[in-house]
Every structure is written in C-alpha cells, then in structure tokens.
Amino acid sequence: MTGFKNFILRGNLIELATAFIMAAAFAAVVTKFVEWLTGLMPDSASSYFSTEAQSFGAFLNAVVAFLLIAAVVYYLIVLPYTKAKERFFPAEDKGTPADVALLEEIRDLLAAQNNRSV
C-alpha cells in the first residue's frame, strides 16, 4: 500500500490527469466558438443547420460547462491532492541546500587547515 501511495503522490499522475480533463473541456469551448464564428459567415455551410443565436448559446453553454468542470476538478481533485501531498511528503526546510551546506563545510575545514599550517 505504501508503494501505491508513493506512486500516486510523488509522480505527476494527478497533474497529468487534471491537465487532460481541463484540455478536453477547453477543446469543447474552442469547438463551439469556431462553430459560432463560422456561423456568422454568410456563405458557410454551417449556417444552414443552425442559427446564430443557437450556436452562440452553445458556445456560452460550453464556457459555463468549462468553468463548472474547472471548479469540480479544483475542489475535488487538486485541493485534496495538495493537502495529502503536504501531509505525507512535507516540503524541505527553506535553508541552505544539502550540497551547498556540504561544500561550505568543506571550505571552512580547508580554511581552518590552512590557518593552522601557516
């Protein structure tokens, strides 16, 4: 179970899934916008199948659906994921990185050694 928890929380699985969901929802918005825009053109074949008001309504519907999906994804996936990640994998202290601290320690030891030999 620990391995699965590490797989879910450490990898980019949640970020990729969220990006895929949001991209699919945004693709619907773009599709409806293009349908509405081409419906405004007088010689367009799509103008025979729908009126401008219907296609603009479909575009607004896609925008509202996108915003609702974004809210659901944020509150039901992103927020709990972020809290779980902070709980199980706390962020490192904002101090000096370990490699820099080690290099500083080596520098100080070399400086102390040079002072003793002089």
Dist. CA 37–CA 33, nearest whole Å:
6
- Is residue 89 included in any domain, yes or no? yes
pLDDT confidence tier of residue 108, bands split at 50, 70 and 90: very high
Q: Are the CB atoms for 65 and 25 separated by under 8 Å?
A: yes
Cα diameter, the chain: 94
> Distance between CA 82 and CA 86 in Å, rounded?
6
How much is the average pLDDT of 107-115?
Answer: 90
**pLDDT digits 0-9 by tens, 20-68:** 999 999 999 999 999 888 877 776 455 455 566 677 888 999 999 999 9
How far CA 81 is from CA of 6, 62, 66, in Å, comes to 12, 27, 21
> What residues contact residue 70 under an 8 Å CB cut-off, 6+ apart?
22, 25
**Which domain, by its residues, includes 35?**
2-93
* C-alpha separations of 41 from 45, 77, 115 in Å: 9, 41, 83
- Contact present, 65 and 28 (Cβ < 8 Å): yes
Determine how many CB atoms are found less than 10 A away from the CB of residue 73. 17
- Terminal-to-terminal C-alpha distance of the chain: 59
What is the domain count for the chain? 1
In a domain, 15, yes or no: yes
- The pLDDT > 90 percentage for the chain reads 37
In a domain, 103, yes or no: no
What's the pLDDT tens digit per position in 25-36? 999 999 999 988
Q: Would you say residue 108 lies in a domain?
A: no
pTM greater than 0.85 (yes/no): no
Query: Does residue 111 lie within any of the structural domains?
Result: no
Would you say residue 74 lies in a domain? yes
